[in-house]
């Protein structure tokens, strides 16, 4: 399951990272160059682990990046100016200005963590 999630979300993050350079306010997001580069790096790691990595490596990635994205989403609501600084957003922001970004980070964090903590399916072998 973790390898499949890495493939799917790796492609999504790749698309968002590339589109963010052309459309910085895609779907109400604040896709700064730094934000796009982070998405592209995350996509590269996820795609590698999804296609060529081990299932355990993919699970570890899901847990680590799930925790990072979840914390980033929470921090974005609690201290929006800190997140704005991290992603390279110019100037101070209001609490709701980064809400779409924060919501997506929370969702990604929850999904990555949920899949990361799942136990792999046990395959029965014939004797």
DSSP-derived secondary structure for the chain = -HHHHHHHHHHHHHHHHHHHHH-TTGGG----HHHHHHHHHHHHHHHHHHHTS-HHHHHHHHHHHHHHHHHHHHHHHH-HHHHHHHTT--S---TTTTHHHHHHHHHHHHHHHHHHHSPPPPPP---
Q: What is the pLDDT of residue 123?
A: 62
Split the chain (127 residues) into runs of 10 and give each run's mean pLDDT: 96 96 90 94 97 96 96 92 84 78 94 91 64
| pLDDT for res 14 | 97
The per-residue pLDDT for 93 is 78
- Give the pLDDT of residue 20: 94
């Amino acid at each position: 399951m973790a390898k499949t999630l890495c493939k799917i979300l790796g492609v999504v993050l790749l698309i968002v990272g590339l589109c963010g350079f052309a459309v910085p306010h895609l779907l109400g997001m604040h896709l700064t160059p730094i934000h796009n580069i982070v998405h592209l790096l995350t996509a590269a790691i996820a795609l590698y682990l999804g296609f060529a990595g081990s299932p355990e490596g993919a699970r570890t990635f899901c847990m680590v990046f799930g925790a990072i994205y979840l914390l980033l989403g929470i921090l974005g609501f609690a201290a929006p100016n800190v997140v704005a600084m991290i992603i390279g957003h110019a100037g101070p922001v209001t609490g709701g200005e980064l809400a779409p970004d924060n919501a997506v980070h929370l969702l990604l964090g929850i999904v990555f963590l949920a899949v990361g903590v799942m136990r792999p399916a046990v395959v029965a072998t014939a004797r």
